[in-house]
């Protein structure tokens, strides 16, 4: 019988074991490779079950994965779009199992709902690397490995940066939350609020959900500025909402220090916005794409008998000091 443990909270504490911990997968096996059919020069299909292509960040993950997989001769990457729907994503994972892909990469839209599907893949002998979000259970046992950032920690960093650097004298701050009741929205909101607690003179005066999208962010932040004209810092839970908030601040003729999250590259991305001086900072949410393809290579080509079961990719703070140099990359 399946038993799911209470929430991702506890899983998160496991993940907080800083950096990448090196745990041996399972019991001491007689050094069996993770995939028996592994071969130096074999042809392999990797299925990637993406949560929702409609989010720009996820499209960016797809692009990085595609680029990294192209570098490896013999790797074919297939991407399925779960379209933000746990039911669709579950059936796509099942399709990959039917196809007998050689390795499954997955960014589950939500943890608990995709847990059984991941178990089915593991039971079918397909190694599963979870990217950016986890399902329930332990890496190395319930799935092969987790690679990704840590939403709570990234937002915590943003909160601390606000407490120390942006508002050392204290003042009013506000938060734009993602889609309410979705895991990353909840984790980022809690992380930021815990981070600003370091400075008792900062009050978070307003929190509004804007569902990750810029237009709702503009509307919500306009209303916030009406109600609280003294807001000095706005933490937006993703870059898209930060862009919308900037429009609201400009419309209200206010100087607000805006912090984004994701640090997307490109002309419309967050790094550029900080470089131009529009935002105070953005905190990257690393895709882990390179690391995922690296790990796939180890498993499929190098016949690895074990891999690091948790690889936490750290966030980079994009601030006026380093933005210009990173934007030029």
Partner 1 sequence: MSEQKISEASGPVAAAPAHRDPLALVVRFQSLIGLVVVAIGGIIFSPRRHGHILFLDPDNIANIVRAVSETGIIAIGMTFVIITAGIDLSVGAVLGLSSVVTASMMISGGFGLIPTILAVLVMGIVFGAIQGTISTRFRLEPFIVTLAGLQAARGLALVVSGNQYINISYGDGPGLAPPVFAILGERLFNNTVPVATIVFIVFAAIATIVLNTTRFGRYVFAVGGNERAARISGVPVSMVKISVYAITGFAAALAGIVHAGQFNFGSANDGMGYELTAIAAVVIGGTSLFGGAGSMVGTVAGTIMLGALANILQLNNITPAMQLLATAAIIVLAAVLQSLVRRREGLGR
Q: Which residues bind partner 1 (CB under 8 A)?
A: 1-7, 53, 78, 80-81, 83-88, 90-92, 94-95, 97-100, 110-113, 115-116, 136, 179-183, 186, 209
Which whole-number Å values give the CA distances from 36 to 32, 302, 303, in the listed order?
A: 8, 11, 8
State which residue, 89 or 315, has the beta carbon closest to partner 1.
89
Residue 37 neighbours by CB distance under 10 Å: 11
State which residue, 219 or 316, has the beta carbon closest to partner 1.
219
DSSP string, 172-202: EEEEEESSTTSHHHHHHHHHHHHHHTTSTTE
DSSP string, 46-59: EEEEES-TTSHHHH
State which residue, 50 or 282, has the beta carbon closest to partner 1.
50
- Min dist CB 110 to partner 1, Å, is 6
State which residue, 174 or 249, has the beta carbon closest to partner 1.
174
- Min dist CB 217 to partner 1, Å, is 17
Task: Return d(Cα 49, Cα 105) in angstroms, integer.
Answer: 6
For residue 315, give the DSSP letter.
P
State which residue, 6 or 255, has the beta carbon closest to partner 1.
6
- Min dist CB 311 to partner 1, Å, is 24
- Min dist CB 192 to partner 1, Å, is 15
- Min dist CB 111 to partner 1, Å, is 7
Indicate the burial class of 274 (C-beta count within 10 angstroms; 0-12, 13-18, 19 or more): buried
Residue environment code for 302-318, b if the CB has 16+ CB neighbours within 10 A, otherwise e: ebbebbbbbbbbebbbb
- Min dist CB 16 to partner 1, Å, is 19
> Parallel, antiparallel, or unpaired for β 75-81 and 44-50?
parallel
Positive or negative, the Cα torsion across 285, 287, 292, 294?
negative
- Min dist CB 257 to partner 1, Å, is 26
State which residue, 42 or 277, has the beta carbon closest to partner 1.
42
Indicate the burial class of 1 (C-beta count within 10 angstroms; 0-12, 13-18, 19 or more): exposed
State which residue, 110 or 150, has the beta carbon closest to partner 1.
110
* Residue 240 contacts residue 59 (beta carbons within 8 Å): no
Distance from chain centroid for Cα 204: 24
């Amino acid at each position: 019988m399946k038993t799911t443990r209470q929430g991702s909270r506890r899983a998160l504490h496991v993940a907080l074991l800083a950096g990448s911990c090196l745990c041996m997968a399972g019991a001491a096996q007689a050094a069996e490779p993770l995939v028996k059919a592994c071969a130096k020069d074999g042809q392999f299909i990797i299925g990637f079950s993406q949560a929702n292509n409609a989010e720009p960040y996820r499209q960016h993950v797809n692009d990085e994965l595609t680029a990294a997989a192209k570098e490896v001769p013999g790797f074919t990457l297939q991407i399925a779009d779960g379209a933000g729907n746990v039911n669709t994503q579950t059936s796509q994972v099942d399709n990959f199992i039917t196809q007998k892909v050689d390795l499954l990469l997955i960014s589950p839209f939500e943890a608990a709902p995709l847990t059984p599907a991941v178990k089915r893949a593991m039971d079918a002998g397909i190694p599963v690397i979870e990217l950016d979000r986890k399902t329930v259970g332990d890496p190395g046992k319930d799935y092969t490995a987790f690679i990704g950032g840590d939403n709570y920690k990234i937002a915590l960093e943003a909160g601390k940066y606000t407490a120390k650097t942006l508002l050392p004298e204290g003042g009013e701050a506000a938060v734009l939350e993602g889609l309410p009741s979705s895991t990353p929205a909840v984790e980022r909101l809690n992380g930021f609020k815990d981070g600003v607690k370091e400075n008792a003179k900062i009050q978070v005066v307003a929190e509004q959900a804007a569902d990750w999208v810029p237009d709702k962010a503009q509307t919500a932040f306009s209303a916030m500025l009406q109600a609280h004209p003294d807001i000095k810092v706005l933490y937006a839970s993703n870059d898209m909402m930060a862009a919308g908030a900037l429009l609201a601040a400009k419309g209200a003729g206010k100087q607000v220090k805006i912090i984004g999250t994701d640090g997307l590259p490109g002309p419309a991305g967050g790094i550029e916005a900080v470089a131009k001086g529009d935002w105070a900072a953005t905190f990257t949410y690393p895709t882990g794409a390179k690391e995922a393809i690296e790990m796939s290579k180890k498993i499929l080509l190098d016949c690895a008998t074990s891999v690091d079961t948790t690889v936490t990719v750290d966030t980079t703070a994009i601030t006026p000091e380093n933005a210009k140099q990173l934007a030029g990359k």
